[in-house]
Amino acid sequence: MQATSYAGEPYKVRIVDRSRFDKRFWPVTVDAPISAPAGSILIDTQQRFLYLIGGNGTAKRYGVAVGAAGHRWSGAATIGRKAVWPAWYPTDDMHQQTPNLPRRIDPGPGNPLGARALYLFEGGADTLYRIHGTSEPWTIGTEASSGCIRMLNEDVIDLYDRVNEGAAVWVR
């Protein structure tokens, strides 16, 4: 059954049974790992955590999946765009690796970007990296993506509602 809070979504949000996953990847409030403005994001790719910095020395920590070996990106960026149930356009590199990959995948529960996407920009240009939802919850805590940061759909919806375009993002 779909949760009431997701009743307005254009597609069904499949709620994950978190009891089947490591508790360290459940959302929790923790001491902020860095001093940064509220609304900033730190992604720790080694620990597989995304921290949304709060204004009182705390942060909301979420479990994430990160880029597989050879696909990792690190650096400073900003949220240059936000999208609800976005279409996915695989990159040229992805098409070289998977020749029959479609040029576009429509929004919906089977779309690799999931329910929300936060687009990372560097110097005003799209890095082609995203923080996005996933329909593959078993990948959280792993190195599974082509460089993007994956979150459970219900977590990325929560993050999306808390983050503004222009927010600083550090990936390390």
Active-site residues, by number, are 132, 148
Give the bridge partners for 53, in sequence order: 59
Residues 122, 153: Cα–Cα separation, whole Å: 25
What are 170's two structure tokens? 């550090």
Residues 91, 73: Cα–Cα separation, whole Å: 15
Distances (CA, A) of 28 to 2, 12, 24: 23, 25, 9
β-pairing, 116-122 vs 125-134, is antiparallel
Residue 72 near residue 147 (C-beta atoms within 8 A)? yes
| Beta strands, E only, 13-124 | 28-31, 41-44, 49-53, 58-63, 66-67, 75-84, 116-122
| Number of helical (H) and strand (E) elements in the chain, helices listed first | 2, 11
